[in-house]
Amino acid sequence: MAIQLLSKVVNGVKGGITSTIKGAADVSSTIVNSVKDVAVTTIKGTGDLVVKGIQLPASIVKGAIDGIANIGVSLIKAIKGIVNGAVQGAMTEGMNQNEAVTGAVQQAMYSAMELGENVASVAVESVKGAVNGVKQVGGDTVGATKSAIIAALEAARDIGGGTVDAVKTALIDGVDGSKKILDEIKKEKEPA
């Protein structure tokens, strides 16, 4: 179910985010740049770990979530910025767009479940964050939207219960173009 995390990365990001965000006047705007900067620094310091695919952006998101939890910032309010910064940082350092988006979105949802947060709300905010992050670095936003929605649905299936339906409904209501993408995904899965 959960993504295998890289504990060295998680702990490094957690410490970096906690020290950067603590005392910031405007936490929301500080989060994106802080996570991006910590992600870039962390990726440069990991060298060979870059080949780990979705594990690296997932570890960055997990570390950032742990960091903001330490200082009492709401996950729902912060997750869009965390995912945005993680995706920007990963892609700036040459990471594949799909892996950056998938790892960041899925880990946001797994962390929301672990923390007892509203997974459907986190799905919407993390998809928006991923698309915005890709947009900031000049990536393919249409592809990013589809990748993020697929990642959210895969994580929702792993989480189980009524999560898939709740996430689909939340995405349709909260993310532009998601109904069309969900319909396309459904058609792709239907036998010809």
Q: What is the DSSP letter of 89?
A: H
21-66 per-position pLDDT tens digit? 777 767 777 888 888 988 888 777 766 554 467 888 899 999 999 9
Q: What is the DSSP letter of 50?
A: G
**pLDDT for 4 beyond 80:** no
Domain segments of the chain: what residues?
A: 7-189
pLDDT of the residue at 185: 87
User: Would you say how long the chain is, in residues?
Assistant: 192
CA dist 44 and 49 (Å) reads: 10
Reference 24, options 68, 65, 82; nearest CA is 68
Rounded to two decimals, the pTM is 0.90
84-124 per-position pLDDT tens digit? 999 999 999 888 999 999 999 999 999 999 999 999 999 99
Burial 107-126 (b: 16+ CB within 10 A, else e): bbbbbbbeeebebbbbbbbb
